[in-house]
Structure 1
Amino acid sequence: MSHTSILGTKKHWDAVYSKEHILYNQTKDIGECWYDDADAEDKIAHFILTHFGPGKTGGLCDLGTGNGHLLFKLSQLGLHNSAMVGIDYSSASVSFAKDVVSKGPDLEGIHFYQSDFLRNDDTFLGNHSGKFGLIIDKGTLDAIFLSKEKYQGLTGVEVYPHKVASMMKRNGVLLVTACNFTADELIDAVTKTGELEYWTRLEYPVFEFGGRKGSKVCTVGFRRRD
């Protein structure tokens, strides 16, 4: 069964963030917060602040940052860090997020870059080898899962672990939040190359349907192997 979807295309996200940018300039509302109904962003922020604390991440990168909502929340909660960056392959996303930062003095220190980090020739990837102590992904691997793009014959999900690990410091942490994977499926996908290992998971409310238990989303933490 094909998992291809419009949600896995750059064209779709360029259109989404171009529209959100226009609305932001009219209303000052930065738009959608992914997995808000599961309180995922609050759980992620609490986890990061508890385990790392202000300025202690060793450099933070938000993969597929979108409108930058998660980074803005972390900054406002006190996770100030001179190396707090967000990347996205959508130029409209990056333009939007940069505009929000320029109009919010309390958001200084957050930087955004256009990057398709799954590609070998990506400039950001090449310039940030081993730079980050914490990488967060809220929905990006979900979107990659829905894409038909191939990279040297491999799917985005298959190349994802190696590309992310290459940007991480030794013992760095990757925190992935997804809805298209169960926690076990996510662990299997991210640890497949052997560069990352399972560390921990966040707890969400569990529902039961047809005798099976599960959650709407899962958040799993991984560490880079030495």
Structure 2
Amino acid sequence: MSSDNEIGFESSKLGTKEYWDSFYKLEHNNFKDNKEDIGECWFDASNAENNMCDYIFNELSNIIIKEDVKICDLGTGNGHLLFQLFEDGLKGNLIGVDYSETSVEFAKDIALENNYNVKFFKSDILNSKDSFLIENVNSFDIILDKGTFDAISLNGEKLHDDKLGVQIYPDAVATLLKKDSILLITSCNFTETELTNHLTKNGQLKVFGKVDYPVLEFAGHKGSTICTVAFQKL
């Protein structure tokens, strides 16, 4: 990525709220017809969700052992990642947020149907006046992101202060995190180096760890199709 204003991706419908409203409306309707159809699990082919859960239980055990631990999933979609953590036995406050109303209603219905103790709220953390953002300053021990930053990167619309969403995101996440707490993020759009450069440039986050994925080699180049990196708030 050459600069903050040139992130290297073309704008896409995947970066629009309209797309996700429509997507989760369809998935919600499918769920109403078949309660076993809880929608798509993103990055399932890369086993990203299981890897994120394993990392939390193995590398962040000192955080999740707290009874009052607070975990927030940004761009939660159908809530699948939080439901997996709940099924795996994680206790505490599990909260999912999404700027799509249809996503939030869908996730709420899945939680109700399956007695998952997970809460969901509509929130756009890129909006500095968002009520959830304002009410949860320095609140969370762990923040999760599975593809949300990717979607944000596909929206070329300038927001407040003439900034792109990808520029606002690091500060917004840091606002929600407690000191020394963790952002665990999975991306398929950014390499580990690109993700690190972007999320640490505000001086509020540093690399804490990562998940190792199989390395592929093509035409003399090596890399992974996905990366999961943990960042700690300074």
The C-alpha deviation readout for 1:3-36, integer Å capped at 9, x for no partner, is 2000000000000000000111112211110100
Task: Find the partner of 1:199 among 166, 190, 208.
Answer: 208
RMSD: 1.2
Distance in structure 2 (CA, Å) of the matches to 1:161 and 1:58: 22
1:55-74 to structure 2, matched below 5 A, reads: 55-56=65-66, 58-74=69-85
One-letter code aligned to 1:23? N
How far is the alpha carbon of 1:50 from its aligned partner?
1.4
Task: Find the partner of 1:49 among 49, 57, 60.
Answer: 57
Question: Which residue number in structure 1 is paired with residue 44 of structure 2?
Answer: 36
1:20 paired with 2:27, answer yes
Task: Find the partner of 1:182 among 184, 191, 196.
Answer: 191
How far is the alpha carbon of 1:58 from its aligned partner?
2.6
Distance in structure 1 (CA, Å) of the matches to 2:65 and 2:31: 29
1:14-163 to structure 2, matched below 5 A, reads: 14-28=21-35, 29-53=37-61, 55-56=65-66, 58-81=69-92, 83-105=93-115, 107-108=116-117, 110-151=118-159, 152-163=161-172
Distance in structure 1 (CA, Å) of the matches to 2:155 and 2:53: 28
TM-score where L is the length of structure 1: 0.95
The C-alpha deviation readout for 1:51-110, integer Å capped at 9, x for no partner, is 3345538310000000000000000000121x21000000000000001111112x12x1
Once superposed, which parts of structure 1, at least 4 consecutive aligned residues long, lie more than 2 Å away? 51-58
How far is the alpha carbon of 1:2 from its aligned partner?
5.1
How far is the alpha carbon of 1:120 from its aligned partner?
0.8
Say if 1:206 and 1:181 are closer, same or farther in 2 by CA, change over 3 A: same
One-letter code aligned to 1:221? A
One-letter code aligned to 2:114? G
One-letter code aligned to 2:230? G
1:10 paired with 2:20, answer no
One-letter code aligned to 1:101? A
Say if 1:158 and 1:51 are closer, same or farther in 2 by CA, change over 3 A: same
Distance in structure 2 (CA, Å) of the matches to 1:130 and 1:2: 31
How far is the alpha carbon of 1:149 from its aligned partner?
2.4
Distance in structure 2 (CA, Å) of the matches to 1:65 and 1:217: 19
Percent identity for Structure 1 against Structure 2: 45
One-letter code aligned to 2:228? T
How far is the alpha carbon of 1:171 from its aligned partner?
0.2
Distance in structure 1 (CA, Å) of the matches to 2:109 and 2:69: 26
One-letter code aligned to 1:22? N
Task: Find the partner of 1:211 among 211, 216, 220.
Answer: 220
Q: For structure 2, list consecutive stretches of 5 or more residues without a partner in the other structure.
A: 1-7
Would the aligned equivalents of 2:9 and 2:153 in 1 still touch at CA under 8 Å? no
Aligned residue-pair number: 222
Q: For structure 1, list consecutive stretches of 5 or more residues without a partner in the other structure.
A: none
How far is the alpha carbon of 1:148 from its aligned partner?
1.8
One-letter code aligned to 1:93? S
Secondary structure of 1:188's aligned partner: helix
TM-score where L is the length of structure 2: 0.92
The C-alpha deviation readout for 1:175-222, integer Å capped at 9, x for no partner, is 110000000000001001001111111000111111111111100000
